[in-house]
Every structure is written in C-alpha cells, then in structure tokens.
Amino acid sequence: MLDLIVSTLTQGLIYALISFGVYITYTILDFPDLGVDGSFPLGAAVTAVMLVAGANPYLTLLAAIAAGALSGLATGIIHVKLHVRNLLAGIITQTALFSINLQIAGSNLTVDRSSDTIFTAAPTMALFGGLSLLARKLAVTLVVVVVVKLVLDAYFRTKSGLLLRAVGDNSTLVTTLAKNMGNMKILGLMISNALVALAGCIVCHEQRSFSATMGTGQLVFGLATVIIGITLFRRLSFVKGTTAVIVGSVLYKACIQVAISVGLPANLLKLITAALFLLVLVCSGRKGEEIIHA
Amino acid sequence: MKNNTFKKLLTAALALTMTASLAACGSTGAASSAASAGASAAASGAASDAHYTIGLAQYGEHASLDNCREGFLQGLTDSGLLTADNITLDYQNAQFDDSIDTQIAQSFSAENCDLMVGIATPSAIACYAAAEDKNIPVIFTAVTDPEAANLTAGNCTGTSDKLPVEAQLDLIRQMQPDAKTIGIIYTTSEPNSVSAIAEYKEKAGDYGFTIDEIGVTAQSEVTQAADKLIADKVDCLSNLTDNNVVGVLSSILEKTNEAGIPVYGSEVEQVKIGCVAAAGIDYYQLGIQTGIMAAKILTGATTCDDTPFETISEYGIYVNSEALAAMNITVPDEIAAKAIESTEA
C-alpha cells in the first residue's frame, strides 16, 4: 500500500510540471495552448536520444527545457506575429511537433537499463543512495517540482512576472505601461512549454522510453488538474496557484489509481475517472461552468 | 521493503516445498524434469497449493490483443504446472494511454505481484520499468522487436509477433501471379510497422513486387491513404499489425471491395473480417506459447535468464473463400491444402 502511495505521488508530482505550464498559459494568459500535446513528447524525445547517446542525465533536463521553450516560441510567433488564433496556433505547433519528435527520436525509443538516469546517476545516489529506487524517484521528483515552484513563485513577484499576470487579467494595463503584450504572451508560452517539456523529460527518465503518442490528452490533463486545484483552494487565498495545481495533479493521478486498484472493468476506466473528477469539483462547492469563466 | 523480503523468503520456501514434493513423486532427477515434464507429473506435484498473483497489463482493446490475453490464460493451465486455483489474475487495460499504462504497472509492483505480463510493446515497457526495483519477472507478448525495445536484459522474456514477411510475399505471388504493386498503409509512429515496411521493401524485389507505401500519423488519415492507393491502381493491399490501421480495416475493405482490389491480412482476425488471405500469426497461439513460458518461470521451473524470447516459427495460412471468390482469385492447390478457412462465424 505504501509503495502504491509513493508511486502515485511520484506520478502526480512529475505531471504537476505540466499543470504549472497549463496554469501559466490557461489561467494567467487565458490561452488554451494545444501545443502542450507536442512539447511533452518533445522533452521525452530529446531526453531519450541524449540518454541513448550516453549524455549526462542531468544535462537532459536543461536540453528539454530549451527544446520546450523553442516550441513555445514557435506557438507564440505563429499567434502573435502571424496573427493566427490561439487554439489554431497551438494545433499547428502540436501537429508539426509530431513529425519533429519522430525525426529527433527516429521512432519510439527505449533507453537501456544500464544507462544512468537522473534517478540512478552518481550525484543522486550520493544524496539518496540509501533509499529504494521507488523512494528515490519520489525524492528526486519532489526536489525538481519544489525548485520549479519556488522559482515560479519568485518570478511572478518580479516586474516581468507581474506584467505576465496582467496580460490575461487586464491587457489594457500592459499596453498603458507601454509594454508589448505580444512579447509577454510569447514569453509566457516559452516558460509554459519549457515546463511541459521538462515533465516529458522526467517521464522519459522514469519510464526509460519515448513514445510518439505519449502527448495525447496532456493538455486536457493539465486543464483538469488546474481547474481541480484552483477550485479546491479558491476560498483559501493564501494558497498559491502553483501549490493548488500540484494538489490538483496528485488528486488526478490518485483518482486514476483508485479506479485501477478497485479493479473496475477496463472499458469503464475513463468513465469512472471522469465521474471522480466531477465528484471532486462538485464537493468543492462550485460548478464547472462557473469555474471556467472565473 | 520488509514485505519484499518476506515474499522472497516465501517464494524460496515454496520452491523448496515444490522440489521436495516432486522428488517425493518418485522420479530421479526431479529438478531437471520439472521443466520438461508433461501435464501428469507436474499436475500432481507443482499445482498443489502454491498461489501466485499475476498482473496483466494490456495496452488497449482490439481482437489481436484480446486473443493474446485469452491464449495466455489458456497457456498457463495448458502448461500443466498451474490450475485456475493457483492463480489470482489482476487484469488491467490501459485503453491506449501511456500514462495509465505506467500507473497500472506501478500498482502491480506495489502489490508485489509474482509476475507481470505486458501485452503489446508500451505495456511491456511500462511493466519492465516498474519491475526494476523489485526484480519481479516480466513476460511480454505481442512485441515485434524485443531487442529494439531493450526488453532482452534483466528479469524479462516473452514472445515476439514479428510478421512472416517473406511468407506473405510468397503467398501474394502465388495468389496473383501477375501482380506488380503492393500497397501498404502504416503508422509512422508504430515501430512494429516501420520495421515491417523496411523488410517488405528489402524483400519485395525478390518476389517481383514494388511496394507503394503510405505513412499516416493518425487513424483519421487511414481511409484517405486507402483512397490514394486505390487511385494509384495498386494490384493489392497488404496489411500489417498496425494498431491504427487495423482499427479501421473494415472501412478500408469497403473501399477496396468496391474497387476490386484484394487486401491481404497479417493474422487470422483480419481474414475473418474480410481480407482475402494471410500468411500470419494466430495471436491466440502466441498467447498460449507465452502462457506456458510464464507458468514455467512462475513455478520456478526455469528463469527469465535461461529463457530467450521466442518467435513463432510455424505460420498459418488463412483464407477467406468468400472474399477470394469476390475478387475472382483461385487458390493454387498447394496453398489450398494447408490453408485454414477463416470466415466470420
């Protein structure tokens, strides 16, 4: 049972990086970025290729972040400079990335068990060597997610961070301040996609594999976790958005785990998962409709 | 972790008991005969009161994978080493979702299954990753290229569903002596299809064919690809075990039947729904083979290390006479003699 809690928590935390990304684009910028479904596997593709080539596993984190930022830049330029509607801009990037990802990785790719990952490399072992692999995965993921969260929180308090938050809420303010709103959007998309690709990178370390289709449905996942998280904590104003979405992500993964563990008929898995989300939303006292327009 | 040690001790104890009981059965060299012993010896010995939990992860639902699973369960008991009473099965289906696959495999690991089974490559990889910590044996099936998927090292073995490409080319040549072009639709992200296409292109020349292949990225593009191949006037279509394409095979057949182009399948289920013929795999048989393998490993008769992954060496020739008649193809006697009629019951 403890093992199950640890692995579910690990999954929730890894995917919380996607939630961060979607939180920035959707909640802050009001931009439903479908590019997420492409930048998630992009991070994994870059990571898989590097690990197979024997690169330093920690370097893959940076490479994935950079690759993700580039994909965000692409979506941003398509939307802001080429004036393509936001949904479509994301779709274009996502579609292009499907080919690009396969081009990078060749095909679906797995990493040999003898290659070191961020969970097995020497520096990690020096820190968490006493733990089982399962517990080490949780520890490393926790470190990454907490660091990312703190950096994001700190960034939101900077001038640039405040402007970014103004883009979605009060775009006139940004323009009055003589700042280019388009550039802020592009920046937001870059940060968001960088985080999503980082999630893909860690999933690749954890599963030792990249699959071209692993991105399918990740935006929907991100949206669900953001909405669950924000809704749960909407009355508790001292809880930061970043904390809320971590909880959302862990809850989402826990729902799926419950559905798996109680041995529901395979065909019903998604239906039950949907029902569980609805339950969470309803119990937190708000209807989905209001949440989306909040 | 304590739990884990207990499990190991328990397993060791069980193994000892089994060896002892086999020895008690009377034959000399009981340990070595355990692996090869037929149903009778083992049923009285091993299938006593040992109990095993098997976590079975299937990537998604379609006929081939379902057959694989049913065959696997059949194989477990066919082995003579186990009866239904010995096994608790935890069957989970990921509905083609990689992240759910991960969670399924991790829950198997958390409940300390005695064996994990991954049906289709993504499930096999997920189980293999989840088992890394605890060294739980992983058995895979319906994996085309276990080596490329890095499933050949560690406590892991299984069966491959690699297609008999040459047998298929030979079959098509005999069925359609004048044919020149074979059209194939495949999904660029499915490694099984990519490797099959490469083999088709490499060997097509030997049988006097050229391959007209179209890669797609999603199921929604498959029927458009079929239109293109029909417009190209290919002499026939050959179908792989491509999950995307197999999923909409019926709608491809609708188009090709109208255009009078025969479609060859790659396994028995495809022939049942209207392909003219196939030199291919019977996934049920593949499952049985895997089940027997799993039973031996589970009962300690052998280990993954001593069991290299297997490929089916005997391929079946499946024909659908109704579809053949509609395409005016006469089956050469040589093929008719060994072909298995496969029409929808």
B185-195 pLDDT per residue, tens: 998 888 888 88
Across all residues in chain B, what is the average pLDDT?
84
Confidence category of residue B28, pLDDT binned at 50, 70, 90: very low
Question: Which letter does DSSP use for residue A267 in this model?
Answer: G
Q: Dump pLDDT digits (tens) for B215-256.
A: 998 888 998 999 999 999 999 999 998 878 988 999 999 999
Using the beta-carbon criterion (under 8 Å), do B103 and A266 form an inter-chain contact?
Answer: no
Query: Which pLDDT tens digit goes with each residue over B51-109?
Result: 999 999 999 887 889 999 999 999 999 998 888 888 999 999 998 888 999 999 999 99
| Domains by residue range for chain B, with CATH | 2-8+52-161+284-311 (3.40.50.2300), 165-282+315-341 (3.40.50.2300)
pLDDT above 80 (res B2): no
Tokens at residue A207, please? 């599963």
At how many degrees (to 10) do helices B98-110 and A241-261 cross? 70
CA dist., res. B246 & res. B268, Å (int)? 12
Q: How far is the alpha carbon of B192 from chain A, nearest alpha carbon, in Å?
A: 10
- Single out the residue of A120, A154, A152 nearest to residue A139, CA to CA: A120
Percentage of chain B with pLDDT > 70?
85
Residue from the list B107, B126, B154 with its beta carbon closest to the beta carbon of A207: B126
Q: CB burial class (10 A; 0-12, 13-18, 19+) of residue B273?
A: middle
Query: Mean pLDDT, chain A, as a whole number?
Result: 89
d(CA A43, CA A53): 16
**Residue A200: per-residue pLDDT:** 97
Average pLDDT of span B8-15: 45
For residue B111, which residues of chain A lie inside 8 Å, CB to CB?
4
| pLDDT tens, residue by residue, B124-152 | 999 999 998 888 999 999 998 898 888 98
pLDDT at A288: 45
Buried b / exposed e over B195-234, threshold 16 CB at 10 Å, is bbbeebeebbeebebebbbbbbbeeebbbebbeebbeeeb
Whether this model's ipTM surpasses 0.95 comes out as no
Q: Tell me: the pLDDT tens digits for A137-187?
A: 999 999 999 999 999 999 999 999 988 988 877 777 777 777 788 999 999
Full-model pTM: 0.80
**Under-50 pLDDT residues of chain A:** 287-294
Taking an 8 Å cut-off on Cβ atoms, the answer to whether B100 and A256 are in contact is yes
Give the confidence band of B282 by pLDDT, cuts at 50, 70, 90: confident
For the stretch B171-180, pLDDT in tens is 999 999 999 9
Is some CB atom of chain A closer than 8 A to the CB atom of B70?
no
The per-residue pLDDT for B30 is 33
Q: What is the DSSP letter of B69?
A: H
Residues of A within an 8 Å Cβ radius of B: 1, 3-4, 7-8, 11, 15, 98-99, 102, 107-108, 110-114, 132-134, 203, 206-209, 211-214, 216-217, 221, 253, 256-257, 260-261, 263, 266-267, 269-270
